[in-house]
Homo-oligomer: A and B are copies of this chain.
């Protein structure tokens, strides 16, 4: 039977009716009315009702950035949409006739990759979502790892530099500041300031007013040496973080999703090289794979739907 997945992002709310095999049967999309929790609940509820119409649906899962409690019902803290302790599960349940579960969006995306994408033949996977920030998901022995309070797998906040760059989480030196899309822009700006291989970046910056992810991404794709150099620096930091994560989590594969991951091998190569240089007990520790996520755009809704189905006991 089908399930519904909803992914509340910073700019849009995406919804989909998803089959047991992870296929999208129908979808919907609305802009996010940021900061207006009640309005978001309305949009999500009517989106679920619309997607459900005329189908047998077993459950609906809602994914959002932020901490979700271990009971999968309350959003403690969602930085992008300014939520604090919102009992989202209850609010939506009052408006629709389906079992509702709430999950962290990176967990939903990771789960989708594990079930239907890059991790589908394995049991233990670690995923890093390289978007504006760095999200994480952990699957172990075929189960999503949520942590004791539901706040685990916040892999973007692994510290890589003591007293390093300040992070939006209030700590310092988190890998999010060295391995995210935002970090890539900081590195690209540094290279633009340096002349030489940075001249094309500097030129693009003055033509467009400032660099953004689209511009830098296109320059990476076109092989601009400055933009590729910034991506390599990003990759080396991610490889170092993965070396620490391998000591803790020992996944069979690291999967990289999010907007930056479209760079493919240009991103994976420096990650892998730096990983091997920093891997504890290299030569004794089995080496994981490094791959790009396969479901980039739909991962959130597909994963949220599947997690809701599992929570409802139908898989």
Contacts and interface: CB of A to CB of B under 8 A. Distances in A.
Interface of A: 67, 76-77, 79-80, 122-125, 132-133, 136, 138, 140-141, 143, 145-162, 165-172, 174, 176-177, 180, 182, 186-187, 190-191, 193-199, 225-226, 229-230, 233, 240, 243-245, 247-253, 278-286, 288
B248 A154 contact: yes
A133 B248 contact: no
18 contacts: A79-B199, A122-B148, A133-B196, A140-B140, A147-B250, A149-B252, A152-B248, A152-B250, A155-B247, A158-B248, A167-B194, A167-B196, A168-B226, A169-B196, A170-B196, A171-B280, A244-B244, A248-B248
A167 B285 contact: no
Most chain B CB within a 10 A radius of its CB, from A180, A199, A250: A250
B229 A166 contact: yes
A197 B170 contact: yes
B166 A194 contact: yes
A151 to B, nearest CB: 5
B171 A278 contact: yes
A182 to B, nearest CB: 6
Nearest to A198: B168
The 9 A-B pairs with the shortest beta carbon distances in the complex, nearest first, are: A168-B196, A147-B250, A124-B148, A152-B250, A157-B280, A148-B252, A168-B195, A157-B247, A149-B286
A113 to B, nearest CB: 15
Contacts of A151: 250, 281, 285-286
